[in-house]
């Protein structure tokens, strides 16, 4: 067992100055927990970028290690559920928020947060998916649970150029749906068509300022990653007995609506919470992502960087110039 390990650490100094970078820390700095995992891959999400700057909405304590996703190999275990050498995946819960996250050669977590790596996925592929892919799968599963089928009609995906949105449209397409993607990034529209969208609508072409309580029912269902006024528009545009799976708030946290879409059209608004999604359901969705829902082009969907280059990716994410999903190779498999 090593006496120290490398991690990307965020520190707060006097006058509340925040610094961040890769450091070596003693092994006994790891938090309490039953299972220690040697991380092989992590990923870079918007929440991680916020954590890397010490954002108080994400970081609870300093020093802090970002990384809401991690895939690796069990190094030691006090749990009967996992043995040394097991390949495993951990996403969300308190990882990278309350607890030191996956931008680290070692993490220590509770066994009830861990999913065995399903046969059919590599550790690398699991992190290309990460929380983004799992959240997309949760959204698709929600629509299916609410009896939305390919014959129901078109499904809309907002924020389709983002991680969750791009995975969602491809998973929907794999399930046989006709998918319309919404994106404000014109330069990304062709890529969305390549990923499976049947058509792409420019975000600016959607009139989100209408105050009509109901709009023409264009869509059988929708997956919304944006929130705010766009989500309000989408809900009012859903056909009778349709469903909207909502998982984001980049466009705002307020929702200006009447009850009419719900009581006159029977629309369901299903909130998707990836942070505390039950572990049994996680395992089931990971199994689908490794088999029936496995995407053939996973390797083309992400750029791989080292831990030392994480800061550059953080800056591009926060500047809004980052377009690729990025994973971090933390250690050797």
Share of the chain above pLDDT 70, in %: 99
Q: Are residues 91 and 206 in the same domain?
A: no
pLDDT of 236-285, one tens digit each? 999 999 999 999 988 889 999 999 999 999 999 999 999 999 999 999 99
Cis peptide before 150 (omega within 30 of 0): no
What's the CA gap between 300 and 188, in Å, rounded? Answer: 15
pLDDT of residue 16: 81
Residue 306: φ, ψ to 5°: -95, 165
The reply to whether 230 falls in a domain is yes
What's the CA gap between 315 and 219, in Å, rounded? Answer: 36
Q: Are residues 144 and 97 in the same domain?
A: no
**For residue 71, what is the domain's CATH number?**
3.90.180.10
Q: Are residues 174 and 256 in the same domain?
A: yes
Residue 79 has pLDDT above 90, yes or no: yes
**For residue 176, what is the domain's CATH number?**
3.40.50.720
Give just the sign of the alpha carbon dihedral 289, 295, 299, 300: negative
Containing domain of residue 112, as a range? Answer: 4-120+297-329
Q: Are residues 50 and 87 in the same domain?
A: yes
What's the CA gap between 193 and 2, in Å, rounded? Answer: 47
Which residue bears the tokens 């990716």?
313
Domain termination site, one of 255, 271, 287: 271
Q: Are residues 104 and 151 in the same domain?
A: no
Q: Are residues 116 and 147 in the same domain?
A: no
Residue 64: φ, ψ to 5°: -135, 150
Q: Are residues 90 and 143 in the same domain?
A: no
Share of the chain above pLDDT 90, in %: 83
Q: Are residues 144 and 88 in the same domain?
A: no
* Number of domains, the chain: 2
- Look at residues 73, 74, 70 and name the one whose alpha carbon lies nearest to residue 45: 70
Residue 50 has pLDDT above 80, yes or no: yes
Q: Are residues 265 and 135 in the same domain?
A: yes
The reply to whether 285 falls in a domain is no
Residue 322 has pLDDT above 80, yes or no: no
Contact 74, 83 (CB under 8 A): yes
Q: Are residues 168 and 234 in the same domain?
A: yes
Residue 49 has pLDDT above 70, yes or no: yes
Residue 295 has pLDDT above 90, yes or no: yes
Contact 31, 15 (CB under 8 A): no
Q: Are residues 141 and 267 in the same domain?
A: yes
- Look at residues 137, 67, 79 and name the one whose alpha carbon lies nearest to residue 106: 67
212 three-class SS: coil
The reply to whether 70 falls in a domain is yes
Residue 311: φ, ψ to 5°: -60, -40
Q: Are residues 138 and 242 in the same domain?
A: yes
The reply to whether 287 falls in a domain is no
The reply to whether 288 falls in a domain is no
Contact 205, 158 (CB under 8 A): no
- 67: left (phi > 0), else alpha (psi -120 to 50), else beta? left
């Amino acid at each position: 067992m090593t006496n120290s390990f490398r991690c990307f650490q965020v520190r707060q100094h006097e006058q509340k100055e925040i610094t961040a970078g890769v450091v070596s820390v003693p092994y006994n700095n790891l938090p309490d927990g039953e299972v220690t995992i040697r991380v092989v891959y992590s990923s870079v999400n918007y929440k991680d970028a916020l954590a890397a700057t010490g954002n108080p909405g994400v970081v609870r304590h300093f020093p802090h290690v970002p990384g809401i996703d991690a895939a690796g190999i069990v190094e030691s275990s006090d749990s009967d559920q996992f043995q040394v050498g097991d390949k495993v995946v951990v996403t969300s819960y308190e990882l990278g928020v309350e607890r030191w996250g996956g931008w680290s050669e070692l993490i220590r977590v509770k066994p009830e947060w861990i999913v065995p790596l399903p046969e059919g996925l590599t550790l690398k592929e699991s992190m290309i998916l990460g929380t983004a892919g799992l959240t997309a799968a949760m959204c698709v599963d929600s629509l299916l649970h609410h009896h939305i089928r390919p014959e129901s009609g078109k499904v809309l995906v907002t924020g389709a150029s983002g991680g969750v949105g791009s995975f969602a449209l491809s998973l929907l397409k794999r399930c046989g749906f006709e998918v319309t993607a919404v994106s404000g990034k014109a330069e990304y529209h062709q890529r969305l068509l390549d990923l499976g969208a049947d058509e792409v609508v420019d975000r600016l072409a959607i009139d989100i300022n209408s105050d009509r309580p109901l709009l023409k029912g264009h869509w059988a269902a929708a997956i919304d990653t944006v929130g705010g006024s766009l989500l309000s528009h989408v809900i009012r545009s859903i056909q009778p007995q349709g469903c909207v799976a909502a998982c984001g708030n980049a466009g705002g946290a307020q929702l200006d609506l009447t009850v009419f879409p719900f009581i006159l059209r029977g629309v369901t608004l299903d909130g998707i919470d990836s942070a505390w999604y039950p572990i049994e359901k996680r395992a089931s969705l990971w199994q689908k992502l490794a088999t029936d829902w496995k995407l053939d082009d996973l390797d083309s969907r992400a750029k791989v960087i080292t831990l030392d280059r994480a800061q550059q990716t953080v800056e591009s994410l926060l500047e809004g110039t980052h377009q690729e999903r990025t994973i971090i190779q933390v250690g050797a498999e």
